[in-house]
Amino acid sequence: MKIYAISLVGNVYWRIHPNDPLILNLKSLPGWFFINPLTYSEVELASKSFSFKKVGVVNGTIIVLTGGFILGTSLGEFDPTSIPFPIEEEEAKIFRIDSGGKVSSDYNPLPTYVERFSSSLRQMSKQVTIPKSFSCISERELLELPELNFTAAKKTVLGIQRYIVDTAVTWENLKDADLDFLASKSFVYERLLLDSIHAYKDKDYRRSLLYTAISVETLAATKSDEAYELITQNGDADNVLRLVPFSQKGGTLITKDPVYELLRSRSKFLELLHEIPLYIFGKSLLVDNEALYQKATRLYKTRNKIAHLGQPHAGNQTTFALTEEDALEAIECAMNIFQWFEVSTHFPIPKLSFIKGDSPS
């Protein structure tokens, strides 16, 4: 078999259970499999390519930190048609360096797959620091994979950051990331909120507030447009919209609602939370939760101040400040709006909190 060690431009935390299998056969990349990170210290190619560390044992699982991951395949040659999405040839060039230092390149969509798979892992686990790009890919032949050797815990007690434990990639996250690839249900507003939390973790509160506001606006626009398209395609049995047929070139008729089209064309942040959802869903954030709507108004004003002035005015109660406390309040505001739109709000926040664990042997 061939194995490929992907060195990422950063680290990934994994949470391995004793019952997790040695490999995951990838539905998103037929003929390929993902190798359990617990084996990486036993694979010479991995040890030469990126770092590996057993962090601790928590509730019968082991937390592992690696600088990348390993894919394997028994296919003789890489089959570009197995990639489940179109790739431009220029973005799928892979460069090789032979023993004499000569550089050559050929078409190989694996790098693009790796970057998109990493992004999917980030979204499924909510581990915001998972890198979405890599530094190099190393390959070699391997006769057989090492056996899984689950680490027993020592008696030494240690504290592990709760955020690390809550977002370490599990086997279920891996399977979800694999299926997410096929379903193509990667929601932009979720990625934006993850970017906001990442900036919060890095103490870049300006960027965090900006991404938080953009995530809310993107969510509201997406949900409204999805509902509108569903009604126009399947029929308006409940008479929600004011649908009117319009003739196109060639005599084709299309049906649309001029009122909704006008509201959306103005693309105003607060209208996406009040007038537009009231029109299409029959509910308004202002009506349902005025306090949350007022926080959203502060978020909107903060975004505008950052966009036009670089930062909000200090001491201004109508905007969020560039502080840890206000950035966190803004993220929590966004998560509550996500919940109002009936979107999952499982986004762990990297606060200074610890979970009791044991040292690995």
Q: Which residue has the higher pLDDT, 21 or 180?
A: 21
| pLDDT greater than 70 at residue 63 | yes
Q: What confidence tens digit (pLDDT) does each residue in 74-86 have?
A: 876 656 555 555 5
Q: If residue 161 lies in a helix (H) or strand (E), which one and from where to where?
A: strand 153-161
Query: How far apart, in whole angstroms, are the C-alpha atoms of residue 334 and residue 345?
Result: 9
pLDDT at 92: 47
Is the pLDDT higher at 262 or at 338? 338
**What's the N-to-C CA distance of the chain in angstroms?**
31
Is it the case that residue 96 has pLDDT exceeding 60?
no
Residue length, the chain?
A: 361
Side-chain half-sphere exposure of 182, counting CA atoms within 13 A: 10
Task: Give residue 76's pLDDT.
Answer: 67
Task: Tell me the per-residue pLDDT of 117-149, one tens digit each, with 9 for 90 and over.
Answer: 999 999 999 999 999 899 888 888 888 888 888
Between strands 23-25 and 244-247, the pairing is: unpaired
pLDDT category, 258, cuts 50, 70, 90?
A: confident
CB atoms within 10 A of CB 287: 11
Kindly report the number of other CB atoms within 10 A of residue 257's CB atom: 20
Question: What is the amino acid identity at position 219?
Answer: L
Q: Where are the extended beta strands (E) located within 50-99?
A: 52-58, 61-73, 93-97
Average pLDDT over residues 251-257: 78
Burial 27-60, CB ≥16 within 10 A → b, else e: ebbeebbbbbbbbbbebebbeebbebebbbbbee
Residue 235: which pLDDT band, with cuts at 50, 70 and 90? Answer: confident
Residue 211 has pLDDT above 90, yes or no: yes
- Predicted confidence (pLDDT) per residue in 189-200, tens digit: 999 999 999 999
Which residue from 26, 24, 28 is spatially nearest to 16, judged by alpha carbons?
Answer: 24
Which helix (H) or strand (E) covers residue 9, if one does? strand 2-16
* Residue 317 near residue 301 (C-beta atoms within 8 A): no
Kindly tell me the number of DSSP H helices and DSSP E strands found in the chain: 11, 12
Indicate the Cα dihedral angle 286, 289, 294, 297, nearest 10°.
-60
Banded pLDDT at 107 (limits 50, 70, 90): very low
- Whether the per-residue pLDDT at 259 is higher than 90: the answer is no
Give the Cβ contact number of residue 352 at 10 Å: 7
The listed range with the strongest mean pLDDT (148-162, 225-239, 320-334) is 320-334
**CA 161, CA 165: separation in Å to the nearest integer?**
7
Kindly tell me if the per-residue pLDDT of 94 is higher than 70. no
pLDDT of 166 strictly over 60: yes
Q: What integer best gives the mean pLDDT of the chain?
A: 87
